[in-house]
C-alpha cells in the first residue's frame, strides 16, 4: 500500500494511492496515518479495504507529511562511505545519531525556507524508515518485523550552523521546513529489500546525487536494532538513514542553496518530492 495524507497543513486527512494513481479518502476507516494505524493490525485493517469502495479525492490536493503525529524524527549521519569522504570525514565505528524536531517536518512538495542568516543551506536525499510497533532491545535479525514501511526524506541541512557554530549537529538540521517527508509511506510488503533502492536528487534540473541504499554502511535492520538499545521506538517514529554522495558541501567548489531554486528528489518505489526554495530574510 501507498499511504498518504492530504489537505491543508495541520488539517490533513488520511488517504491511499490506488493502482491507477488516484487518491482515495481513508477518513471513514482511520483518523490518520499515525499511531495504531501503522501497527500490524492497523495495516491489516487498511489492507483489507477495497480501494474502489473509497471516495476518490478530486483535483490535485496538497500532500502533507506521509506520517502524522511523528513522535521521534531520528537521523543518521555519515552512513555512506563515499559521502563521508566528500565531507572530509571518516565513517565512525558506530552510527552518528541526531534528531530533528517535528517542527521541521513538512509535506513532500512544500516550500523549503532558507533560515535567516544562512550561507550554506544544503540538500540530502534519504531513505526514511517508519516504525510500526514498539521496539526495545530488538536484534538485527528481527528488526524489520518492527517496520511499517518506508518513505522519501530530504534532510535539508545548514552546514555553517551544523559544523562551524560549535555544539551538536542539531542546530544545522532543526530549522523549520528542513524535513520534507513523503509523498507516501510505502508498506514494507512492497519493498522486499530496502538495501537495493536507487536514490537521486536534482537542483534546477542538474543531478547532484545519484546513489543507492545498497552502499549504506549501516543498513536499515541494523539501525532499528541499534537505536532500540538506547530508546524505545514507537509506531510513527521515523528514522532517516543517511545520504549518498553529491551534497552541495562536497562539490568543488561547494554549491549551496541561495533561494529561488527547485529541488527534485526521489527513491525507487517510494515516489518523488519537488520543493521550491524560499528565504526567511
Taking only the tens place, the pLDDT of each residue in 160-182 is 999 888 878 889 999 999 999 99
Identify the helix (H) or strand (E) that includes residue 239: strand 238-240
Domain boundaries, the chain: 2-53, 73-279
Cβ atoms < 10 Å from Cβ of 181: 30
89-99 average pLDDT score: 87
Residues 6+ apart with CB under 8 A from 17: 2, 4, 23, 24, 184
Taking only the tens place, the pLDDT of each residue in 113-140 is 999 999 999 999 999 999 999 999 999 9
Taking only the tens place, the pLDDT of each residue in 38-50 is 999 999 999 999 9
Measured in whole angstroms, how far is the alpha carbon of residue 179 from the centre of its chain? 7
Residue 88 has pLDDT above 80, yes or no: no
pLDDT computed for residue 85 by the predictor: 73
Cβ-count burial 245-277 (b if 16+ within 10 Å, e if not):
bbbbbbeeeebbbeeebebbbbbeebbebebeb
Instruction: Tell me which fold the domain 73-279 belongs to.
Output: Fumarylacetoacetate hydrolase; domain 2 (3.90.850)
All cell numbers assigned to 159: 552546514
18-29 average pLDDT score: 97
Question: Closest by alpha carbon to 68, among 39, 33, 103?
Answer: 33
Taking only the tens place, the pLDDT of each residue in 236-281 is 999 999 999 999 999 999 999 999 999 999 999 999 999 999 999 8
CA 247 to each of CA 111, 178, 210, 218, 236: distance values in angstroms, whole numbers, following the listed order: 19, 15, 10, 19, 28
Amino acid at each position: 500500500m501507498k499511504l498518504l495524507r492530504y489537505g491543508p497543513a495541520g488539517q490533513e486527512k488520511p488517504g491511499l494511492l490506488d493502482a491507477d494513481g488516484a487518491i482515495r479518502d481513508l477518513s471513514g476507516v482511520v483518523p490518520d496515518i499515525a499511531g495504531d494505524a501503522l501497527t500490524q493490525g492497523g495495516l491489516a485493517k487498511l489492507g483489507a479495504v477495497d480501494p474502489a469502495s473509497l471516495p476518490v479525492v478530486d483535483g490535485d490536493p496538497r500532500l502533507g507529511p506521509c506520517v502524522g503525529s511523528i513522535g521521534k524524527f531520528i537521523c543518521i549521519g555519515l552512513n555512506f562511505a563515499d559521502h563521508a569522504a566528500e565531507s572530509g570525514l571518516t565513517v565512525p565505528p558506530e552510527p552518528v545519531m541526531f534528531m530533528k524536531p517535528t517542527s521541521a517536518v513538512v509535506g513532500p512538495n512544500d516550500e523549503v525556507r532558507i533560515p535567516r542568516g544562512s550561507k550554506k543551506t544544503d540538500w540530502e536525499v534519504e531513505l526514511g524508515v517508519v516504525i510500526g510497533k514498539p521496539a526495545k532491545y530488538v536484534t538485527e535479525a528481527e528488526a524489520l518485523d518492527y517496520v511499517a514501511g518506508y518513505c522519501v526524506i530530504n534532510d535539508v541541512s545548514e552546514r555553517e550552523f551544523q559544523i562551524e557554530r560549535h555544539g551538536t549537529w542539531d542546530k544545522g538540521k532543526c530549522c523549520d521546513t528542513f524535513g520534507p517527508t513523503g509523498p507516501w509511506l510505502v508498506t514494507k510488503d512492497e519493498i522486499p529489500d530496502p538495501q537495493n533502492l536507487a536514490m537521486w536528487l536534482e537542483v534546477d534540473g542538474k543531478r547532484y546525487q545519484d546513489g543507492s541504499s545498497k552502499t549504506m554502511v549501516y543498513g536499515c535492520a541494523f539501525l532499528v536494532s541499534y537505536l532500540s538499545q538506547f530508546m524505545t521506538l514507537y509506531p510513527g517514529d521515523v528514522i532517516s538513514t543517511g545520504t549518498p554522495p553529491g551534497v552541495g558541501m562536497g562539490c568543488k567548489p561547494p554549491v549551496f542553496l541561495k533561494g529561488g531554486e527547485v529541488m527534485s528528489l526521489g527513491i525507487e518505489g517510494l515516489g518523488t518530492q519537488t520543493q521550491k526554495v524560499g528565504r526567511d530574510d
